[in-house]
Structure 1
Amino acid sequence: MPMPVETLHAYLTEAFPDAEIAIEDLAGDGDHYKARIVSTAFAGIPRVKQHQLVYAALKGHMGGALHALALETSAPSTTG
């Protein structure tokens, strides 16, 4: 069963309440998404660890209800 974008967004918002989150359904099937997440939770940690935090936020749904998730994660820019 596919995961609705609203459910995906809710999981990510719960785990990263300060985040700017943009989600795109890549195939129109609710199984293949691209997510861009900018959160202070990612500051100073390697990208692999950032992605692990996102997968943990999905509470075991990755590979089940959610078949594929392309991730772009980063901390907010401190320049400006």
Structure 2
Amino acid sequence: MADPTADDVQRFIAQGLACTHLAVEGDGRHFFATIVSAEFDGLSRVRRHQRVYAALGDRMREQIHALSMKTLTPAEWSAEAVAPSHHPH
């Protein structure tokens, strides 16, 4: 089975999770996704990631070897777009 492209991963996530913004970058083995979904409201970062893994299902184990993600609610995304340098690390 061929390694998935960033577009494939983006499509897989979008099929299983309603997103208001979704961007995936990657090289076929390692991916970074920025995922904005109203479904993340009230969820911890761990629960958000679990929700994305659930959307990816078996593909996560079989095809996607490494996925880093930033998971935001629409409100968090708006705040970050306005002031990305104000987030404490």
Shorter chain as denominator, the TM-score bin is 0.7 to 0.9
Hey, what's the Cα distance between the residues in 1 that align with 2:41 and 2:52?
Answer: 14
Match of 1:59 in 2: 57
Q: Is the 8 A contact 2:7 2:24 kept in 1?
A: no
* Aligned-pair identity (%): 32
Q: Which runs of 5+ in 2 are unaligned?
A: 80-89
Normalized per residue, the structure richer in helix is 2
Q: Is the 8 A contact 1:11 1:58 kept in 2?
A: yes
Q: 3-state DSSP class of the match of 1:34? A: strand
Number of equivalent positions: 77
Q: Is the 8 A contact 1:13 1:19 kept in 2?
A: no
Match of 2:18 in 1: 17
Q: 3-state DSSP class of the match of 2:58? A: coil
- Compute the displacement of 1:62 (Å): 1.6
- Compute the displacement of 1:19 (Å): 2.6
Hey, what's the Cα distance between the residues in 2 that align with 1:16 and 1:56?
Answer: 9
Match of 1:2 in 2: 3
Q: Which runs of 5+ in 1 are unaligned?
A: none
Q: Aligned Cα RMSD in Å?
A: 1.8
What TM-score, normalized to structure 1? Answer: 0.83
- Compute the displacement of 1:35 (Å): 0.3
Hey, what's the Cα distance between the residues in 1 that align with 2:20 and 2:49?
Answer: 14
